[in-house]
Amino acid sequence: MTSEELAKFNGQNGQPAYVAVGRNIYDVTESPLWKEGNHEGAHQAGCDLTQELKTAPHVAAVIERFPCVGQIEELPAKKPSVGPKLIIPAVITIILILALVLLR
């Protein structure tokens, strides 16, 4: 499941409440602490809560007790692009080198 797909499972309008921790997605729908997809006004279902869990008053094992319904798909890493910031200095350098060679 992608992050965009996970966002649809926000616990509102009859949707199940899913949260991601690490790569796993957990169904917290049946928890009274996740009513309408909201966890005590601090967290919303349909999100990756990996970072938030690091500062939560409970350990990951609390979330891991819920049914695991899938995993977050990792998006392929983007290839670094050579943008204008690199092309322009390269072109200027080539022009300067050519000018030096021709002026000899």
Residue 36 falls inside a structural domain: yes
Residue 30 falls inside a structural domain: yes
Residue 21 falls inside a structural domain: yes
Residue 50 falls inside a structural domain: yes
pLDDT score, position 77: 54
pLDDT score, position 79: 56
Domain span at residue 59? Answer: 3-71
CATH assignment at residue 44: 3.10.120.10
Q: Residue by residue, what is the 3-state secondary structure of the chain?
A: CCHHHHHCCECCCCCCEEEEECCEEEECCCCHHHHHHEECCCEECCCECHHHHCCCCCCHHHHHCCCEEEECCCCCCCCCCCCHHHHHHHHHHHHHHHHHHHCC
pLDDT digits (tens, 9 = 90+) for 65-93: 999 999 998 755 555 555 666 677 777 88
Residue 88 falls inside a structural domain: no
Residue 17 falls inside a structural domain: yes
Per-residue pLDDT of the chain (104 residues; tens, 9 = 90+): 999 999 999 999 999 999 999 999 999 999 999 999 999 888 899 999 988 888 877 777 888 999 999 999 875 555 555 566 667 777 788 888 888 888 87
The pTM (predicted TM-score) of the whole model is: 0.68
How many domains does one find in the chain?
1
